[in-house]
C-alpha cells in the first residue's frame, strides 16, 4: 500500500506490506522463527496498527467460522498452528500479538 494520503498524518513512512508471511518468504523453515512486525512490537508500538488489528477481530472471527464449516481440516490445522506457536514462543511481542 503506497497511497500517499494515507501516510500524511502518520509517523509511518514507506510502504505497508499486507501479504501474509511476506517477511518469512525465502527463509529456511527449520531455522526461522516467526517474528512480530516491528510496527507492532512493544518497543516501537504505534497505536494505529494496533487499532487496525483489533478492528478486524469480528471479520476474522466470521472468516474463521466460515472456514470451520467449509473446510474443517484446514481450520483445525490453522488453529493447531496458532496453539503450538503460542505455547512454544518465549518472545513477549509474539505472546501479546497471538491473542489478537
pLDDT value at 4 more than 80: no
11-20, 28-37, 60-69: range with lowest mean pLDDT: 11-20
At 66 the pLDDT is 95
Does the pTM surpass 0.75? The reply is: no
Task: Tell me how many domains the chain contains.
Answer: 1
Average pLDDT, the chain: 77
Q: Which residue has the higher pLDDT, 78 or 96?
A: 78
C-alpha dihedral, 22 to 80 to 60 to 2, nearest 10°? -10
In a domain, 30, yes or no: yes
Taking the C-alpha atoms of residue 16 and residue 11, their distance in angstroms, rounded to an integer, is 12
What is the residue whose three cell numbers read 498524518?
9
Q: Which structural domain, as residue segments, surrounds residue 27?
A: 20-89
In a domain, 4, yes or no: no
- Those residues whose C-beta lies under 8 Å from the C-beta of residue 46, and which sit 6 or more positions away, are 10, 11, 12, 39
pLDDT tens-place string over residues 41-67: 766 667 788 888 888 889 999 999 999
27 secondary structure, DSSP code: S
Amino acid at each position: 500500500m503506497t497511497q500517499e494520503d494515507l501516510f500524511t498524518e502518520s509517523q509511518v513512512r514507506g510502504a505497508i506490506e499486507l501479504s501474509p508471511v511476506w517477511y518469512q518468504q525465502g527463509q529456511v523453515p527449520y531455522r526461522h522463527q516467526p517474528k512480530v512486525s516491528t510496527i507492532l512490537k512493544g518497543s516501537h508500538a504505534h497505536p494505529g496498527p494496533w487499532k487496525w488489528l483489533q478492528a478486524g477481530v469480528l471479520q476474522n472471527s466470521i472468516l474463521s467460522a466460515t472456514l470451520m464449516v467449509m473446510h474443517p481440516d484446514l481450520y483445525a490445522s490453522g488453529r493447531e498452528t496458532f496453539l503450538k506457536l503460542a505455547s512454544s514462543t518465549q518472545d513477549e511481542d509474539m505472546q501479546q500479538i497471538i491473542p489478537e
